[in-house]
Amino acid sequence: MLKFIGRRALFAAFTILIVSAVVFAIFSFLPFDPAALTCGQRCTDQIVEANRVRLGFDKPIYEQYWLFLSGIFAGRTYGAGSAAFTCPAPSFGYSFNENACVTDMIREALPITISLAVGALILWLIVGIGLGIVAAKFKNRWPDTSSSVFVLLATSLPTFVTGLALLIWVTIKWKLVPLSLSGYTSLIDNPFKFFQYFILPWITLAIAYAAIYTRFTRAALLETLGEDYIRTARAKGVGERVVFFKHTLRAVLAPLITMAGLDFAGLIGGAIITETIFNLPGLGRLTLRSVYEFDLSVVLATTILAAVVVIVMNLIVDMLYAVLDPRVRIA
């Protein structure tokens, strides 16, 4: 098991290195002058050239990449003399648009996105798997039919429709959840406010995903119920409830966890639409804003971060799979 984890971790680190190099290369070859983007309307060539030297854009690409990499581990100082400023490690660059270290910007946005993703994940796992179980248990009866109506509706409604609808009715018309103007409060500081802040975004995301999980759980359960080993369990005299909740559900767990891990990783990369609708200053919004403003150092950092999350989640899912499925351990 340790050997398996070690090998996979090494492989993951290597993948991350390659991804960062590719992303860095793409951004370097974009037809923009990154130095020219650093100053506003009253710009002179002098300032541009000074910024070019300060940010290291005058150096060859491989050296820039090396500076970027070493910045992550050692921090990075821009400029020299009294004008010098430092982004401490881990430094992912400096945003001239915001006059801030990229790392600090991500540090502010990340908890919001993680709170959004974790809450939504929990919600959609409960609803999706729950409905899937009910649908499979009562196949072709009314609970199954109503759950497929939910699946159909939820998969066909895009998040900007459900999100806006929730906002308009629940917050503005029925005033069930107050419009939060005070901004993000962490779970530890004020749990009640935290839930108030996130409940609608959670529901918005969860609806879309729960539908997929309902359909998947139902299909996987019904398929497993037809397996030979389920017939064996019945032949032993095992009761229907144990057959369903032990033998059948256990077999469905591993693929469900794989799916959940990858979907979760995708959300950390940014639930752009949901964050925009509910005005959540998370990673998605940060990326979107940076793209509009050509804030390339931020886009570079968030892109690499999204890739890293996907790779790390893959690693975690693989390790979980090895725990859940005994057949994987030897491979």
Partner 1 sequence: MTELLRIQDLHVAFKTDDGMVRAVDGVSLTLNAGETVAIVGESGSGKTVTSLSVMGLHKKGSAEISGAISLNDHGTFKDVVSLNDDQIRDIRGRAVSMIFQDPMSSLHPYYKIGNQLAEAYLVHNPGKKKEAMARAIEMLDLVGIPEPAKRAVEFPHQFSGGMRQRVMIAMALMNSPQILIADEPTTALDVTVQAQILALLSKLKKEFNMGILLITHDLGVVAQVADRVNVMYAGRIVEEGAVDDIFYSPLAPYTLGLLKSVPRVTANNERLKAIPGQPPSLINLPVGCPFAPRCEYKQHSSESGCNSTKPELIGTSETHRSRCHIPEALRKDLFTKEVKELQS
3-state secondary structure 107-148: HHHHHHHHHHHHHHHHHHHHHHHHHHHHHHHCCCCHHHHHHH
The reply to whether 240 sits near partner 1 by the rule CB under 8 A is yes
The phi, psi pair for 85, rounded to 5°, reads -140, 150
Binding partner 1 (rule: CB under 8 A), the pick from 70, 186, 232, 279 is 232
The reply to whether 226 sits near partner 1 by the rule CB under 8 A is no
Binding partner 1 (rule: CB under 8 A), the pick from 168, 231, 245, 262 is 231
Residue among 251 and 317 whose Cβ is closer to partner 1 = 251
DSSP calls for 233-272: HHHHT--HHHIIIIIIHHHHHHHHHHHHHHHHHHHHT--H
Question: How many residues contact partner 1, by CB under 8 A?
Answer: 21
Binding partner 1 (rule: CB under 8 A), the pick from 85, 169, 229, 245 is 229
Query: For residues 254-283, which are near partner 1 according to CB under 8 A?
Result: 254
Cβ–Cβ under 8 Å, residues 91 and 76:
yes
- How many degrees, rounded to 5, is the angle at CA 122 between CA 312 and CA 201? 100
The reply to whether 233 sits near partner 1 by the rule CB under 8 A is yes
Cα dihedral 281, 287, 289, 295 sign: positive
The reply to whether 318 sits near partner 1 by the rule CB under 8 A is no
The phi, psi pair for 122, rounded to 5°, reads -60, -45
The reply to whether 114 sits near partner 1 by the rule CB under 8 A is no
Q: Which stretch binds partner 1 (CB under 8 A): 63-71, 150-158, 168-176, 231-239?
A: 231-239
The reply to whether 326 sits near partner 1 by the rule CB under 8 A is yes
The reply to whether 136 sits near partner 1 by the rule CB under 8 A is no
Site of interaction with partner 1 (CB under 8 A): 227-229, 231-240, 247, 250-251, 254, 324-327
